[in-house]
Amino acid sequence: MLEDRWSVVRMSFSIPMNLVLLLSTSILCIGVFSEEASKPDVVNVGAIFTFGTINGKVAKVAMKAAENDINSDPSVLGGRKLTISLHDSNYSSFLGIIGALQFMESDKVAIIGPQSSVMAHVLSHLVNELHVPLLSFTALDPSLSPLQYPFFVQTAPNDLFQMIAIAEMVSYFGWTDVIALFSDDDQSRNGIITLGDKLSERRCRISYKGALSPDLTATRSEVSRELAKIQMMESRVIVLHTFSKTGLLVFEVAKSLGMMGKGYVWIASSWLSTVLDSTSPLKSETANSIRGALTLRPHTPDSKRKRNFMSRWNQLSNGSIGFNPYGLYAYDTVWMIARAVKLLLDQGGTISFSNDSRLNAFGGRTLNLSALNTFDGGKQLLDNILETNMTGLTGPIRFNQERSLINPSFDIINAIETGYQHIGYWSNYSGLSIVPPETLYSKKPNRSSSNQQLDSVVWPGGETTKPRGWVFPNNGRELRIGIPKRVSYRDFVLLVNGTDNVKGYCIDVFLAAIRLLPYAVPYRFIPFGDGHKNPSYYELVNKVSAGVFDGVVGDIAIVTNRTKMVDFTQPYIESGLVVVAPVNKISSSPWSFSRPFTPLMWAVTAAFFVIVGAVVWILEHRINDEFRGPPKQQIVTILWFSFSTMFFAHRENTVSSLGRLILIIWLFVVLIINSSYIASLTSILTVQQLSSPIKGIDTLISSNEPIGFQVGSFAENYLIEELNIPKSRLVSLGTPEEYAHALQSRRVAAIIDERPYVDLFLSDHCKFSIRGQEFTKSGWGFAFPKDSPLAIDMSTAILALSENGELQKIHDRWLSRKACSSDSSEAESEQLDLQSFWGLFLICGIACVLALLMYFSLMFRQFSRHCPEEPDSTSPVSSRSARLQTFLSFADGKVEKPKSSSKRKRESISGNGYHKGEESTFRSGRIERDISHERQSGGSWLVK
């Protein structure tokens, strides 16, 4: 009975437990089912292209190949199938937008495309809202900013890098002006804007922008009109940034107009390389029209995978289209999406879509906008795409912080008769090079101009020599060359009265340089000025910047304010401002011998002769018999000895070390003084000496006297603005005769003018001379408009004239004068003053003082040792007087020069009756007796 109850209880508990177990199992199954449901068996991707274009055909083949390769490898998507839905926009942006909307309705995780940047700008707004990544390898407009369009990703190097490559090519070949011809759409227009920025960074520019109708709508007549305008311009470097249809039309018309011949340069963007790669063989007409052009191709490093894919291409395309690198980018783009989707699923993300509540209001209308869905995992998928780190057919694939592919690079291709030749590479890492970029990534980047190089190019017309890049406009107009209509100094520019004949030094230099140019230059001289006074050269140069003249030839100084308006050639003559003033010739006189030194210099020199003689006498008096004797004789000795050192004829010998030291120093001083005196006196007696109160620009400024200048010269502004000379002090002068009259009449104290004018003036007026040195350095050159290539070529020609000596011959023919020149007028020889020699006198004086201090200190020491002070009962005054007399007697005493030890030994051995000790005792006793005797007698004391 109890067992039955327990069995009933167990049954009552077992029923709920089974229900719980069944419920748990059901929940688990539902969870697994829902997880599998979040991982669909098919991953849908859309692609929008115009499949009738070259890149559209290539992309279609490559994307289908990638789809098949991904689906054949279960490890990529875990057995799921990748499906790429293709939509042909058929050259229509409208159809492209419709296709994108259809893709949004059918829950595509990503869209590849569009092909053009025009559609990319529109579709990027759409995918931004629905969080569907949009990847394109052909819409490469540099203005598609990731900040504005975060869900748009460019999977090939965008046109920013292509324009940098073109700018570096232009700079490499030395061209400064280019003409840009482009289709007027977003991608081409923004690419040309970027090109202009990159050219300006390299001091180049786009001189003209020719816009054509967008691709497919450009007509032959439109292209002919634009090329006809370009044909009349100076620049011959043309950058063509468009698409294949319009681009080939431009080359065809250019060929018919003769613009594919010698002297032209054509640089096409990457569209031309796709034609060369995918259209083989080219039609003979097309091949002839593009011969000599340069183009760029996206560079992809060589690899086994790339070679294998290229070997499969004919099979994949069935021979419908040739291969080009954009097929590799299409293939890698599909793989980037597949890897990002796999990573999304591995991270636990889901491929799910939800309605946008903002679109529900449009559900009842004709447009079924409510069917558009937002991709819930779109942001995560975008992040996975941007974090891609793989090696594809195009090489290593990674994005930098600006969302550009790392290490963008291009092949540089030259179209030739047999197809094309590869002349080098460009990479953002190392610039232009003939070495593949991937071999340089391991080295330190070096983008110096010396490291940039390309192989030889076959230019349009079959030329191998680099084209100059510009010509004179083919409009029949001669260059208008302005020349100053000078009134004075017509040796530089001379317009023969009543004729159009122009000659002169500056004209001959210009004509000689023109003859050296490798091309003909039509020109016509146009005088500028009223013929009554010299024209303003500032106004003349300003006519060039205003477009009135195409250049200016004449005595045009190259100064700062003019270089801001025009470009100058290399200077063909040196120039600089100098001061011209009247000078008086210094006549000879009986006292000319005293002119080398100033009076103070003579006085100090004479004083030192006496001082040195006295010092030597003091040092030698006690031990040298030649410096002893009666007082008169000793005074004569001092004077004779000191002044005889002037000629190194002194007869007295010095025996003391201090005396010899002083004498050596003094003889060195005498040598320097003698040499300077002789050199100065020789100059005074042999060279014409001129004197003037004006020593140069400094003394002229401080004198407050009037200053003359030439009319039209830049000297007036320079004196006012740079040297702060009041305008009231300046006097304008026109001719050399006015110069001479103004200087002679003291109307002006001096004239400031450029050196070439002054040299001509002084050749006929010897009463004036240049004072001081040139205080400005400049030169004369020819002026041309800013960035004119003619300025560079003329500079090269002027350098050639200088090197072959022709420039000097022209100078000698016009400007050399024999009658009188400024070279014969030397500046006044300045007198030598104490300032030039005070260092020598200081050294000598210090030596004398030190020698006397040492001498007297030694003598006081000897006097203290041999004559100790004795107490005296007399007054202190008489005691000091007696001791002074004793010291003077001691100082005046004769001291025998000590004998050498060998001599003393010989005297000791000779047996003279004294031993060494006895002799010492005798001499000591004798000295003491003499001292005692002298003290008592008050007489002088002499040590014998």
pTM of the complete model: 0.67
Question: Tokens in use for 805?
Answer: 């000596």
Domain 159-302+407-451, CATH: 3.40.50.2300
What letter would DSSP give residue 312?
H
Q: Which two tokens stand for residue 279?
A: 């259209």
The predicted pLDDT at position 21 comes to: 33
User: What is the band of 598 on the pLDDT scale with cuts at 50, 70, 90?
Assistant: confident
Distances (CA, A) of 677 to 597, 642, 838: 7, 18, 15
pLDDT tens digits, one per residue of 297-337: 999 999 999 999 999 999 999 989 999 999 999 999 999 99
Query: What would the two tokens of residue 803 be?
Result: 């090197």
In this predicted structure, what is the pLDDT of residue 941? 36
Lowest mean pLDDT among 240-249, 623-632, 867-876: 867-876
662 vs 849: CA distance, rounded Å: 10
Q: How many helices (H) and strands (E) does the chain have?
A: 30, 33
The predicted structure's pLDDT at residue 920: 40
Q: Does residue 905 register a pLDDT over 80?
A: no
**482: nearest Cα among 539, 564, 557:** 539
Q: Are strands 577-582 and 750-754 parallel, antiparallel or unpaired?
A: antiparallel
Extract the tokens encoding 658. Answer: 């201090």
Alpha-helix residue ranges (DSSP H) falling in 687-828:
697-703, 715-717, 736-744, 755-762, 789-804, 806-815
Q: Letter for the amino acid at 487?
A: V
DSSP class of residue 572? S
Contacts of 84 (CB under 8 A, 6+ apart): 45, 46, 47, 63, 64, 67, 112, 334
* Cβ atoms of 815 and 761 closer than 8 Å: no
The number of beta carbons lying within 10 Å of the beta carbon of residue 417 is 11
At residue 555, the pLDDT reads 94
The per-residue pLDDT for 612 is 80
Inter-residue contact 199 to 257 (CB < 8 Å): no
Calculate the CA 781 to chain-centre distance.
Answer: 23
Rg of the Cα atoms in the chain = 52
DSSP state of 593: G
Q: Which residue has the tokens 């259209």?
A: 279
Tokens of 250: 């431009």
* Residue bearing tokens 């005797």: 933
Query: Regarding the domain with residue range 479-575+783-815, which homologous superfamily does it belong to in the CATH classification?
Result: Periplasmic binding protein-like II (3.40.190.10)
Which of 14-18, 231-235, 283-287, 417-421 shows the lowest mean pLDDT across its residues?
14-18
Buried b (16+ CB within 10 A) or exposed e, 568-591: bbbbbbebbbbbbbbbeeeeeeee
Running DSSP on this structure, what letter comes out for residue 262? T
Q: 146: Cβ–Cβ under 8 A, 6 or more apart, which residues?
A: 152, 153, 402, 403
What is the per-residue pLDDT across 648-684, written as a single tens digit (0 to 9) for each?
656 666 767 787 787 788 788 888 888 887 777 776 6
The answer, yes or no, to whether residue 157 has pLDDT greater than 80, is yes
Return the residue matching tokens 């009463």: 767
Right CATH for 580-586+691-777 from 3.40.440.10, 3.40.190.10, 3.30.565.10, 3.40.50.300:
3.40.190.10
425-445 mean pLDDT: 90
Q: According to the model, what pLDDT value does residue 621 have?
A: 66
How confident is the prediction for the chain on average, in pLDDT? Answer: 81
CATH superfamily of 42-156+305-361+368-397: Response regulator (3.40.50.2300)
Please report, rounded to a whole number, the percentage of residues in the chain having pLDDT higher than 90: 46
Domain residue ranges in the chain = 42-156+305-361+368-397, 159-302+407-451, 479-575+783-815, 580-586+691-777, 592-687
Spell out the alpha helix ranges (H) of 373-480. Answer: 378-386
Residue 680, pLDDT score: 77
DSSP secondary-structure letter at 670? H
Q: Tell me the pLDDT band of 900, cut-offs 50, 70 and 90.
A: very low
Contact between 779 and 558 (Cβ < 8 Å): yes
Each residue of 915-941: pLDDT tens digit?
444 344 334 444 444 444 444 444 433
Q: What is the mean pLDDT of residues 390-406?
A: 92
CB count within 10 Å of CB 561 equals 12
**CA–CA distance, 786 with 447 (Å, rounded to integer):** 28
Question: Is cis: bond before 396, omega within 30 of 0?
Answer: no
Q: Is 42-156+305-361+368-397's fold the same as 479-575+783-815's?
A: no
Residue among 419, 528, 530 nearest 482 (CA): 528
Q: Is the pLDDT of residue 209 over 70?
A: yes
Residue 484 belongs to what H/E stretch? strand 479-484
* pLDDT bucket at 698, cuts 50 / 70 / 90: confident
Asked if the model's pLDDT at residue 86 lies above 90, the reply is yes
Checking if the pLDDT of 911 tops 50, the result is no
pLDDT band, residue 773 (cuts 50/70/90)? confident
pLDDT of residue 465 exceeding 80: yes
